[in-house]
Amino acid sequence: MADLDLTGIEGLQRALVTMPARVLEAASKALYEEATRILAASHPLVPVDTGLLVSTGRVEVENTPAGEASVTISYGGNGTA
């Protein structure tokens, strides 16, 4: 939950200026947390031969200059067995 303290027009203006960044930060954090839970839930479904693939699971959150956030859950790349 976000806190918002407004005092007069100046307080409202300050809040409105900082609001997009605060919303993007909160959304990015929530996306990351949920994607991490999804990644953990997917581990038992990953084929295991050497364990290398499952060790490469990762979550990446990207924030765009337009104020959008996206998340990617992936396996592959350089793992550590």
Q: Is the pTM of this model over 0.75?
A: no
3-class secondary structure, 68: coil
- For the stretch 22-79, pLDDT in tens is 888 888 899 999 999 999 999 999 988 887 888 899 999 888 877 788 899 999 876 5
Residue 59 has phi, psi (to 5 degrees) of -120, 130
Looking at residue 44, the DSSP 8-state letter turns out to be G
Output the pLDDT for position 79. 53
Residue 2 has pLDDT above 70, yes or no: no
C-beta of residue 72 within 8 angstroms of C-beta of residue 42: no
Helices (H), 1-81: 8-42
